[in-house]
């Protein structure tokens, strides 16, 4: 089993298949690298090198109780890309993984990166506030945490059956077996990471909009960079894709 060990002693599991230009996949909560298997096999057959890792607290990586924030996620991704000495890589991130990729670019630069694909990523701020009226009320997140803490197995059945894959939308048709992508993690001992990730999303200044950082000092400048990094890559991808 392939792993790296981060500076704070966390083992990060990863898959690394094939040769060619690398494509690095960052998964969403509460999944694992396995969620990308179909895409990895597709690009492997088309001559790419494909890499995916289990985020800390998820899958086969260390079940840590701390470090569930975008700084650590970005640093873990940077450690992986440095360990594998990836160059000219294409990064693909979904949901939490999308935020991870953007924060990685903002925090560690673009020297190893060719392009980034951000898919249904977490926004800078998920919670509804006066400055973010389109966000979700905090009660929604409180409810998710309570359900997960009470019965993780039931939670991972209920969530994909409703909002996670959009099956609760009018006219949506459920894909047979699709909910198993979330059911499996529910039985895989990663409740602590899932809970802590949700709790860090709410107060974490890394998910605040720039206009909310009134009186921000020099140390806050980095927190506003993810939005700028994403804009730069959207522009570059429009030019070259």
CA distances from 66 to 8, 69, 125 (A): 10, 9, 21
CA–CA gap between residue 92 and residue 193 (Å, rounded): 22
What's the pLDDT band for 236 if we cut at 50, 70, 90?
very low
User: Domain locations in the chain?
Assistant: 3-240
Q: What is the mean pLDDT of the chain?
A: 80
Check residue 239 and give its pLDDT.
Answer: 45
What's the pLDDT band for 41 if we cut at 50, 70, 90?
very high
Nearest to 37 by CA among 49, 55, 25: 25
What's the pLDDT band for 207 if we cut at 50, 70, 90?
very low
CA angle 175, 181, 183 (to 5 degrees): 105
Is this prediction's pTM over 0.85?
no
Q: Candidates 3.40.50.12780, 3.40.50.10860, 3.40.50.720, 3.40.50.1820; correct CATH number of 3-240?
A: 3.40.50.1820
Q: Which comes out higher in pLDDT, residue 58 or 209? A: 58
Check residue 47 and give its pLDDT.
Answer: 98
Q: Is residue 62 over pLDDT 70?
A: yes
Kindly state the percentage of the chain with pLDDT values over 90.
53
Check residue 204 and give its pLDDT.
Answer: 40
What's the pLDDT band for 225 if we cut at 50, 70, 90?
very low
Check residue 99 and give its pLDDT.
Answer: 95
Q: Is residue 161 over pLDDT 70?
A: yes
What's the pLDDT band for 195 if we cut at 50, 70, 90?
low
**DSSP at 136:** B
Check residue 183 and give its pLDDT.
Answer: 63
Nearest to 159 by CA among 138, 143, 173, 139: 143
Q: Is residue 162 over pLDDT 60?
A: yes
What's the pLDDT band for 177 if we cut at 50, 70, 90?
low
Least confident of 17-26, 27-36, 106-115, 224-233: 224-233
CA–CA gap between residue 234 and residue 116 (Å, rounded): 8
Check residue 97 and give its pLDDT.
Answer: 96
């Amino acid at each position: 089993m392939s792993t790296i060990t981060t500076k704070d002693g966390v083992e990060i599991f990863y898959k690394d298949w094939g040769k060619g230009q690398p494509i690095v996949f960052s998964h969403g909560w509460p999944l694992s690298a396995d969620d990308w298997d179909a895409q990895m096999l597709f690009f492997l057959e088309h001559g790419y090198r494909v890499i995916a890792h289990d985020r800390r607290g998820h899958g086969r990586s260390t079940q840590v109780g701390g470090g569930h924030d975008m700084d650590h996620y970005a640093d873990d991704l940077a450690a992986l890309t440095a360990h594998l000495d990836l160059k000219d890589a294409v990064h693909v991130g979904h949901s939490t993984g999308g935020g991870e990729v953007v924060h990685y670019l903002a925090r560690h630069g673009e020297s190893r990166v060719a392009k980034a694909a951000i898919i249904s990523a977490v926004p800078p701020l998920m919670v509804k506030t006066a400055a973010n009226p389109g966000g979700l009320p905090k009660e929604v997140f409180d409810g998710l945490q309570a359900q997960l803490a009470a019965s993780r197995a039931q939670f991972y059945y209920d969530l994909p059956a409703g909002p996670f894959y959009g099956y609760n939308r009018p006219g949506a048709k459920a894909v047979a077996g699709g909910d198993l992508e979330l059911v499996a993690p529910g039985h895989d001992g990663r409740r602590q990471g899932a809970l802590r990730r949700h709790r860090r999303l709410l107060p974490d200044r890394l998910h605040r909009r720039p206009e909310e950082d009134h009186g921000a000092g020099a140390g806050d400048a980095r927190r506003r960079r993810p939005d700028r990094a994403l804009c730069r890559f959207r522009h570059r991808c429009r030019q070259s894709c």
